[in-house]
């Protein structure tokens, strides 16, 4: 998969992580409100965050890059979240994911970032099936999945916990019939 250098929306820049993101990423990964219902690493030491960031950056030039990117405010460049995508081990789907700093929630930033990421995945990467897995208590993410045109499929067991599974197909996206 090709990881974009940079994607832009009206208010956001979605870009690859850089070494300059260490401080903000460390704060982000140690905020339980941010990563509590995600698969992201938590309670990392400075050294662990640095190793994680180095792994992400190094992966961008490999055949199997980690598609994790910073969500930044266009006006200031401030990192307010993280997003990305990954192949799903047990299906032909590609999962998208995001996490946003609580200070920037309820402003449409996650929807804006996910819309742009989906556009890239379908129009540039030709991905056929994009999914989101949401923890049953994560109502905001389930609502976001619906807003970006995904349809609820089923409840599934993922990493030893229950999840809700939402799907958007390329066919539905291109036809404009997202829901």
Per-residue pLDDT of the chain (179 residues; tens, 9 = 90+): 688 999 999 999 999 999 999 988 888 888 777 666 555 656 678 898 899 899 999 999 898 888 899 999 999 999 999 999 988 877 788 989 888 888 999 999 999 999 999 999 999 999 999 988 887 778 888 888 899 888 888 755 555 566 778 899 999 898 876 54
Contact present, 148 and 178 (Cβ < 8 Å) = yes
pLDDT reported for residue 158: 53
pLDDT reported for residue 39: 59
Which residues are registered as beta bridge partners of 156? 163
DSSP state of 40: S
**Distance separating the N- and C-terminal Cα atoms of the chain:** 26
pLDDT reported for residue 20: 94
**How many Cα atoms occupy the beta-carbon half-sphere of 88 within 13 Å?**
19
Q: Give me the phi and psi of 103, to 5 degrees please.
A: -60, -25
The model's pTM: 0.87
Domain 6-175, second-level architecture: 3-Layer(aba) Sandwich (3.40)
């Amino acid at each position: 998969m090709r990881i974009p250098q940079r994607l832009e929306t009206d208010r956001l820049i979605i870009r690859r992580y850089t070494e300059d993101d260490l401080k903000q990423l460390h704060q982000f990964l140690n905020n339980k409100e941010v990563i509590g219902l995600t698969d992201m690493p938590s309670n990392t030491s400075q050294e662990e965050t640095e190793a994680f960031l180095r792994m992400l950056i190094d992966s961008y030039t490999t055949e199997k890059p980690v598609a994790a990117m910073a969500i930044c405010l266009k006006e200031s460049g401030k990192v307010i979240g993280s997003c990305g995508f990954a192949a799903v081990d047990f299906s032909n789907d590609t999962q998208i994911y995001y996490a946003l700093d609580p200070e920037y929630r309820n402003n449409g930033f996650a929807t804006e970032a996910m819309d742009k990421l989906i556009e890239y995945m379908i129009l540039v990467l030709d991905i056929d099936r994009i999914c989101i897995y949401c923890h049953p208590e994560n109502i905001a993410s389930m609502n976001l999945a619906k807003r970006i045109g995904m349809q609820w499929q089923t409840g599934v067991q993922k990493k030893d916990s229950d999840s809700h599974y939402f799907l958007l197909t390329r066919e539905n996206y291109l036809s404009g019939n997202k829901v």
